[in-house]
Structure 1
């Protein structure tokens, strides 16, 4: 009986010792980790480092995306659009160029008529001879440009119309000169009417046949 009681007391003592050891170890371990300054510093450092690394990456990415979206303009890099625009400007300027040229020539020829060297018929005929050279030269120049610009079928129609107009011009000038048949004004009147009709034809060809 005494041996059994000693054995039982020994077992109870061992049990309490084990119970005390098991109850303190989890809390003690956690508390020691929380209170360890080295562990706390390393945790805070890792948190700070990760924040500092992530923010610059996101900022750079957003900035690059916004810049690339704002500066991209596909039409500016399209060579066909640039060429088309250049071609349109060239064609558009052709008609404007000739209208400007014709208006300048009209001012020049009107000035010649209004300011002859003298009032003699001879001087007036010489002025009309100079005016004829100007307008007849411009008529041939414009006709040559249209031969290059117009489609073949349209050019054929213009060629036929031009033949008819030349007959009309010469006939009209002749009929006008007959009012002064036999007089000093006969040839002068013929030249004036001929030049006026040629001037009008130049404007007509540019305005009606030069599309651009």
Structure 2
């Protein structure tokens, strides 16, 4: 007996591991040898390519393709129609499956609607990628990235509030009171 929900229009290939409480909605395709954690929500018209791994509580909004080479830690949010790539120089007539680049999305990161993540660039934990941003380099933990190409415009708390650091490099989340330290362009939660 399966311990997850899949809409009758969803297609799930053999060899997938799907965690308890995960929901897979209309017209989505989960391809061979994927691992989806517990409590994930896979929206409508999503493709999860072979060998993709999603942690627990990953929320994938409608119209997202997660290509081979992508891994997401727990609590990641993938906004509507955001895009991953897996080849730097694709050509229809050239098979580059052996060249798939890897992309890792850290715990708690959020990627906004219509953002593009160019393959081979990792997203740090609790990073926040704004809607429509194009990521062309690695993103530090807690970084707020916007634009095309994306530029860092600040830092975000684990709760999702913008952090304002004082002269000593300290900040407090306005929603939770959690404390953060900025040192050498790196943020840690205290």
Which TM-score tier does this pair reach, normalised by the shorter chain? under 0.3
Name whichever structure is richer in strand by fraction. Answer: 2
Relative contact order (C-alpha < 8 Å, sep 6+): which is higher?
1
Largest Rg, 1 or 2? 1
Name whichever structure is richer in helix by fraction. Answer: 1
